[in-house]
Structure 1
């Protein structure tokens, strides 16, 4: 029931409680950094819709537990007309008893979505704004109120900030956690494709003639209604913003695009991103079972398990690449990943994130396949079983833990 409602294991979430210790994964230079005391206070806006009670409370307490009190002005919760019972009286009661000094709860009268929900939260804020100065946020037009539920607002605010004289800065020492789900546990009112709706508004307001590139990719959207954008166009004119060509030339020159008047070549080609150098390629053979590590299903299935099967030198879906970032990538698609939360779970295939940790493996010494974040080695669970299950175990000298990457 919990997984059906929320698309993650709510039983585990409930067992974790509201206060949770997490490892400090920052670089050593970040741990030693000293920040000024005289910083502005922050108002943090958290929007939610039918969120699991324990996950919501843990998010709130994570902010409270890890933020110096003198910097945190308030947390504003925006309930986007949730339907779950525990997010009504139970939440009110918890805030009243435990959180009333720092937490405000705003309840929307109708479903607004993440984008307008953030704007509603910002309107109730009396401190600064999380990640952006309050006055700057309003001066540049906030979010596009005509966008629905979620999707595209991150690109819109990025284009607008850069094109209209602002900057987006990266804080290398910051760390943000996020629950990635295999599916969205909720839909949009009426089943609307809000991503398409929001992207159309973005394209018509900010991309100039380059919107033809978008329509070449999505021709079915060319005549679709996207609402009134006159207010957004007026904001762009009032702020005397640059053209989209200026954005491409000056802010993102790595993004090579064809002429906006040649939609027959629509694809944006990012030449700036480089994959880490591959050190070895081949099949991962377990020395005891004499079988190779493969996807249980398809190698393109995100979240899929891995097992050992008979080795086939002609099968490209058995080929692993081991790169300089210590990632193991199957068939050029997904990375071997280990849950850092549930270390008892077997490894799985996930999208490569390039951040080490759960996807950082050491291959070599004693033929171990050592997982850095959990400090254990990959092993065949039962070498005689046709199921071919693998598991993580304390490293020892057993051949069930010995692997060779064979070209």
Structure 2
């Protein structure tokens, strides 16, 4: 496949906005052949003809146009028409122009009556977005009896955006008399991108908020073990949970201790005189292997990348200064995870929300994304999260500022990591 400069710009913009190669996605089109990866016994299995039709809910926020429509067509192309009642697209207040009039027109002219488009008037998040989609469904939601689906309660509407709802639904279903079954011939693929290409409103930590609600509603006395691992969350607010507590009482749900004994006994370990205790411990992460280390020198200026203040200052920007091989605060390590660690302390990080902000030194989180760099044979430092390269700020000034920029072949974007 041949790429020109325009393609490169599309690809870089796509990585920045969506964290995957949008150029390739667009060229794939809306219809894609996929291999059947099921076991051979599943391929000959015969199912009853009289199955209920299903409503499929697809929530999205700022999704790439081609990827969204390929998802829709995958459902249409691979589902027998008599089993598919409708597809409900829930737009969670997207900002991209291509998801406005262009999407309206495509749904109206190309997808016709099988697809409904629901637009949220504000950002609700994945959890409430699913509930909104379910409220618009007129078929058997996910081929499940609607009465049974609603009997055990829906998602916790007090949870925000994303995170923790998978655990909540598991605890609730098992503790309140239901079951979650593994169907071997049902294949579900879940692809995690290197980073989330969209943030939470206001940059809030929705995982912490949602986990607190989960712990206070469902975990009984065991929530103390969670809070002992996250003591900073003890005084943090988590909203009104009275409706969820009332739901648990109304459904006559069992205790979390019962859940640990009967559903997830693997979570327990023998301790304290052979008394089983939940095993909530942080297992030490393996330190990634260091591939290169030394000073990070810019070829255009001959200067080295250092902290503007101290190498231990979290949130501090990085600048160019005269190279000094005796200075330990000019020592960078590049590891197998793509992290650039200064003086063994902090990682070079970029903002995924405020992309014009300069790179800063932040605590290493080990999750790639904003801290994942590619140092290739071209000597460019490519930032995977934003799809740009580390560059000397133009024009070059005495303060030695650096910034992120669209990748090119200039020496301003060329770096050598040398010991």
What is the SS of the residue equivalent to 1:50?
Answer: coil
Deviation at 1:59, TM superposition (A): 0.3
Aligned pairs for 1:305-316 (under 5 A) are none
What is the SS of the residue equivalent to 2:57?
Answer: strand
In structure 2, the partner of 1:298 is 335
Q: CA RMSD in A?
A: 2.5
What is the SS of the residue equivalent to 2:113?
Answer: coil
In structure 2, the partner of 1:8 is 20
Q: What CA distance in whole angstroms lies between the structure 2 residues aligned with 1:131 and 1:249?
A: 31
With structure 1 as the length reference, what TM-score do the two structures score? 0.65
Q: Tell me if structure 2 keeps the 8 A contact 1:214–1:266.
A: no
Which of 140, 143, 166 matches 2:152? 140
Bigger relative CO (Cα 8 Å, ≥ 6 apart):
2
Q: Tell me if structure 2 keeps the 8 A contact 1:257–1:268.
A: no
Residue 87 of structure 2 is aligned to residue 50 of structure 1: no
Check 1:301–1:249 CA distance in 2 against 1; reply closer, same or farther (3 A cut): farther
Q: Tell me if structure 1 keeps the 8 A contact 2:268–2:278.
A: no
Check 1:236–1:222 CA distance in 2 against 1; reply closer, same or farther (3 A cut): same
Residue 169 of structure 2 is aligned to residue 157 of structure 1: yes
Deviations 1:119-139 (A, max 9, x none): 000000001112643222222
In structure 1, the partner of 2:45 is 33
Q: What CA distance in whole angstroms lies between the structure 2 residues aligned with 1:26 and 1:100?
A: 32
Which of 59, 69, 74 matches 1:62? 74
Deviation at 1:141, TM superposition (A): 1.4
Which of 252, 256, 279 matches 1:244? 256
Gaps of 5+ in 2: 1-12, 283-332, 340-365, 367-419
In structure 2, the partner of 1:169 is 181
Which of 80, 97, 100 matches 2:92? 80
Q: Tell me if structure 1 keeps the 8 A contact 2:175–2:256.
A: yes
In structure 1, the partner of 2:6 is none
Deviation at 1:180, TM superposition (A): 2.2
Check 1:170–1:269 CA distance in 2 against 1; reply closer, same or farther (3 A cut): farther
Q: What CA distance in whole angstroms lies between the structure 2 residues aligned with 1:110 and 1:69?
A: 33
With structure 2 as the length reference, what TM-score do the two structures score? 0.63
Q: Tell me if structure 1 keeps the 8 A contact 2:267–2:278.
A: no
Deviations 1:296-333 (A, max 9, x none): 9634559xxxxxxxxxxxxxxxxxxxxxxxxxxxxxx9
Check 1:147–1:132 CA distance in 2 against 1; reply closer, same or farther (3 A cut): farther
Q: What CA distance in whole angstroms lies between the structure 2 residues aligned with 1:301 and 1:37?
A: 51
Check 1:257–1:82 CA distance in 2 against 1; reply closer, same or farther (3 A cut): farther
Spell out structure 1 runs of 4+ moving beyond 6 A. Answer: none
What is the SS of the residue equivalent to 1:44?
Answer: strand
